[in-house]
Amino acid sequence: MITIILKDGSRKNYDHPVTIQEIVKDISPGLARAAVAAQLDGRVTDLNTTVEEGEHTLNILTLDSDEGMSVYRHTTAHVLAQAVKRLFPQAKLAIGPSIENGFYYDFDVDKPFTAEDLETIEKEMKKIVKEDLKLERYELPRDEAITLMEQMNEPYKVELIKELDDDAVISFYKQGDFVDLCAGPHLPSTGKIKAMKLLNVAGAYWRGDENNKMLQRIYGTSFSKKSLLNEYLKRLEEAKKRDHRKLGKELDLFSIHEEGPGFPFFHPKGMIIRNSLENFWREEHAKRGYQEIKTPIILNRELWIKSGHWDHYKENMYFTQIDDMDYAVKPMNCPGSMIIYKRKIHSYRDLPIRMGELGLVHRHELSGTLHGLMRVRNFTQDDAHIFMTPDQVRDEILGVIELVDYVYGVFGFKYHIELSTRPDNSMGSDEEWEMATNALEEALRAKNLDYKVNEGDGAFYGPKIDFHLEDCLGRTWQCGTIQLDFQMPERFDLSYIGQDGEKHRPVMIHRVVFGSIERFIAIITEHFAGAFPVWLSPVQVKLLSITDRSNEYILKLEKRFKEAGFRVETDLRNEKIGYKIREAQMEKVPYMLVIGDKEVESQKVAVRMRKGGDAGVMDVEEFISLLRKKIDNKEID
């Protein structure tokens, strides 16, 4: 007897083995048409999977679910691989997973793919879809699987199989004359794919190791409807216009040079944005009882062994020698905070102690992963470390959540929350990890916040809450994090004197809000398309002359605005006013004041806004009051 328990709790019984596809048809013909895969006993699997005796839970997946779209796009990746093998028979296959909003496949080919190649491959993919080839899964013993891939001259697949356990289930998928090593699951046939597009090609090292061969990675996307694909492609075009690397150059904010790949140079206008963010950070942390500290960039090997970074993070660190002793450039700020905490004896009355640091850290990133300010090798973390008694944990976590919510609200960001639990490569006991994880969950529940659990994705020293903010294009970025840590205080032998006069171990929170100043600047540059809120804008007001006769009045205004604390520039060039306005618009200056004979005579200003155009004539002090209000309230246009 087979009992199927559906998502709504209803049951279906069968007295013989049955495929999931047959069960779905039994439930509803409409659902059968929409289904792409299923979760059988919690595991995502194909619709043609046969269900054997026993009691099983079953959840049918459609393209309305993330899991369903992942299956859909993974199948599109196999169609891509089949098209490449048809057109480039000597190409060797590596891997081809689904990713957020799309898929990719890595190939070993004699010469890089061109844009013309992508067009040809996409046409071949459409032919494969039209052929409506059935995807058939089969399994082979390890030796037979290796032999098959060797016969097909697929060395990367052979390498993957050899790393599997001797008793591992090794599965393949066949569609027409194409066979690929794959765990699945997949759509029932290629004809289920309705809309797809190849996007670009990039170099990618095999297994992400720069010591391995560079492969060609083709990126693509697919959707259930042509209209959804077109919407996505429009968003991609908008994202290109907003690319912070492009805007950073146009607005003269930052640059990265071959003398320091992954090490950004900030220009004067970029520094204004950076300093404005850091000043905002300092003001808000001071209000909440944080004390600012600064710790060294280079510290000795013994410290990093004690912190656990030497064993768990060494491959991401830079090293040097001083006086014949090993030192490391810090990849994280936390050990320095613990040294400061340990400099003196603390009472329970001193706790919580909140230490904030805008700390410069360095991490070794592969050259292929570097991306403007989003992925760099040195960056400033807006770190804070909170030392507290166990009974203060809940309130401190709640305080951090409220701070993150406030800061993101200033920029107009929505966000969602993820809770990450213990990874394989971690320190500490099961009891400590359970205690820490429960504390984070209790705080989230106390705030009535929805969250997703990421099993095994925590830091090596503790579980964490991650905040993923959403920009105006619907993209998400992981920025803020709260990490609860019972390990570091133990390793550094931190203590405080309790009410009983005895030594006790404090609990520690690691947390960031921006995450990385550099990356946050990249995110807001793209979010605002370079048109920053006036409080962040490198130039807040630009004074534009119509004739030379207004120059004296403009210089007087410039002095007044600077005295009021505004960032102001003048444009007194002998150019047409329309040209000056267009140039200021290109520079994304929030306010342009056009000054001609009428304004000189009336001692007023004609105001043009970056958004909204002509705002009319104002008294100077009226305009100053308006601008001051927008800056003080950190208003968003």
| pLDDT the model gives residue 419 | 92
591, 534 contact by CB (below 8 A): yes
Q: State the first-to-last Cα distance of the chain, in angstroms, to the nearest integer.
A: 64
pLDDT (0 to 100) of residue 290: 97
Q: Please give the Cα distance from 121 to 461 (Å, whole number).
A: 46
What DSSP designation does 426 have? -
Looking at residue 509, its pLDDT comes to 93
Is residue 603 predicted with pLDDT exceeding 90? yes
- Take residue 500 and report the two structure tokens written for it: 């009983």
- Report whether pLDDT(430) > 90: no
Q: What are the tens digits of pLDDT across the range 26-51?
A: 888 888 888 888 888 888 888 888 88
Which residue ranges form the domains of the chain, and what is each CATH number? 2-62 (3.10.20.30), 68-241 (3.30.980.10), 275-292+331-527 (3.30.930.10), 541-632 (3.40.50.800)
Asked if pLDDT for residue 345 goes beyond 80, the answer is yes
| E-state strands within 26-122 | 37-40, 43-45, 50-51, 54-61, 92-93, 98-99, 102-108
| Set 510, 511, 567, 588: catalytic member | 510
381 classed as catalytic: yes
DSSP-based three-state secondary structure for 162: helix
263-272 average pLDDT score: 96
In the set 242, 363, 580, 608, the catalytic residue is: 363
Q: Which residue has the tokens 């070794």?
A: 364
| Distance between CA atoms of residues 527 and 472, nearest Å | 6
Beta-bridged to residue 600, according to DSSP, are none
Stronger pLDDT, 506 or 458, i.e. the higher one: 506
Q: Which of 106, 269, 334, 610 is catalytic?
A: 334
Residues 6+ apart with CB under 8 A from 172: 137, 138, 139, 140, 145, 148, 179, 180, 181, 182
464, 511, 608, 630: the catalytic one is: 464
605 neighbors 556 (Cβ within 8 angstroms) = no
Look up residue 190 and give its two tokens: 């290629």
Given a cut of 90, whether residue 220 has pLDDT beyond it is yes
Within 8 A by CB and 6+ apart from 345, the residues are 496, 497
pTM: 0.81
Q: What is the pLDDT of residue 253?
A: 97
Residue 4's pLDDT is 81
Mean pLDDT across 359-363: 95
- Looking at residue 565, its pLDDT comes to 95
Out of 381, 392, 483, 487, the active site residue is: 381
Q: Is 385 a catalytic residue?
A: yes
Structure tokens at 129: 């879809």
Active site residue 334: yes
CA geometry: angle 618, 622, 626, nearest 5 deg: 105
600/378 Cα distance (integer angstroms): 50
Mean pLDDT of all residues belonging to the chain:
92
How many angstroms separate the Cα of 443 from the Cα of each of 7, 117, 458, 465, 478? Answer: 29, 53, 17, 10, 20
Alpha-carbon gap, residue 28 to 544, rounded angstroms: 69
Residue 571 has a pLDDT of 94
